[in-house]
Amino acid sequence: KPMNCPHHCEIYKNKPRSYKDLPLRLAEFGTVYRYEQSGELHGLTRVRGFTQDDAHIFCRPDQLKEEFVKVIDIVLYIFKTLNFDKFTAQISLRDPNNKEKYIGSDENWHKAEQAIIEAAKERGLETTVEIGEAAFYGPKLDFMVKDAIGRKWQLGTIQVDYNLPERFDLEYVGEDNQKHRPIMIHRAPFGSMERFVAVLIEHTAGKFPLWLTPEQAVILPISEKFNNYAKKVENLLNNYDIRTLVDERNEKIGKKIRDNELKRIPFMLIVGEKEEETETISVRKQGEGDKGTMTIADFAHLIQSEINETLKEIND
């Protein structure tokens, strides 16, 4: 299965559709497979089996621009959430001197291209226009993201498609009681999940946002005899929904701190005799050092406040 599109077309075709049913939006995280040549494979950025956050929107011509704007908003929200601030939007249009390469009427192409250009302008996107780069079935908008070392990657993509609705003979009954062909929008804000994660790891150098990082804190007992207290702290923090693990290795505390700094775990919680007696933890923050001693409840509040502040900034 190289793509999810035909499956969504079959779902659309499963029953008669009216203009009142549109837009119809179908989305899935679908696994697809493509037999890339061995020389083209590259880490997580180009693989043979990957997961697409794929969606297809079936709409009327008069709904095209509005739906396009909504999809742009989803892409921008994702980029803002993950702090991708260096990106450009590439508008790919057909070659007006070589129209036989493309399917669909001149009128439909003009409407689709104008809808994309206007939607991008409405959202204040920094755009480049590439003539002749459109797919044969319709124009598209690709989001090109720069990672931390300046390399460009195509992540999100939004495409207008007149071909598949025709190939699958998709129809809806219009307000005039006649049959019409819907327009199909392909949208994948992440593109491939594998590529997105690869670019995110490169972009952040492994230092994920606190809300996203797999382990938010690691507990470091200064010797094996404090492992039980470390386990108790772990259980209490898990009750606060804080993702925590215990470094139980029989190593010196300095080595444990260095090793866990390299793992980019945001917080290190050091526990020893004093902490066990007072039921507290000594807190170190990744890249910032010692944050003092605090109770488990106070530390949980610190984490939750930091995450809430980040989410508030994203949603403002």
CA atoms of 230 and 219, how far apart (whole Å): 6
Which residue out of 56, 65, 187, 256 is catalytically annotated? 56
* The 244-246 sheet, strands edge to edge: 244-246, 217-221, 267-271, 280-285, 289-295
Helix (H) or strand (E) holding 302: helix 296-315
Which residue out of 9, 17, 52, 159 is catalytically annotated? 52
Which residue out of 5, 17, 53, 247 is catalytically annotated? 5
Tokens linked to 99: 């129209």
Are 195 and 51 spatial neighbours (Cβ–Cβ below 8 Å)? Answer: no
232 is catalytic: no
5 is catalytic: yes
CA atoms of 209 and 206, how far apart (whole Å): 9
Which residue out of 186, 187, 203, 256 is catalytically annotated? 186
Matching residue, tokens 């939607």:
119
Which residue out of 34, 99, 121, 258 is catalytically annotated? 34
- Residue 313's contacts (CB-CB under 8 Å, 6 or more residues apart) are none
Tokens linked to 300: 């949980």
Cα Dmax for the chain: 80
Give long-range contacts, CB 8 A cutoff, 24+ apart: 206-213: 206/264, 207/264, 207/286, 207/287, 208/264, 209/82, 209/83, 209/310, 210/266, 210/303, 210/306, 210/307, 210/310, 211/307, 211/310, 211/311, 212/82, 213/243, 213/264, 213/265, 213/266
186 is catalytic: yes
Determine the 3-state secondary structure of 148 from DSSP. coil
Which residue out of 65, 140, 180, 187 is catalytically annotated? 140
54 is catalytic: yes
Which residue out of 54, 142, 161, 247 is catalytically annotated? 54
Query: Nearest to residue 179, comparing CAs of 189, 170, 168, 190?
Result: 170
111 is catalytic: no
Number of helices followed by number of strands (H, E) in the chain: 9, 14
Residue 245, exposed/middle/buried by CB under 10 A (0-12, 13-18, 19+)?
Answer: middle
Catalytic residues: 5, 34, 52, 54, 56, 140, 186
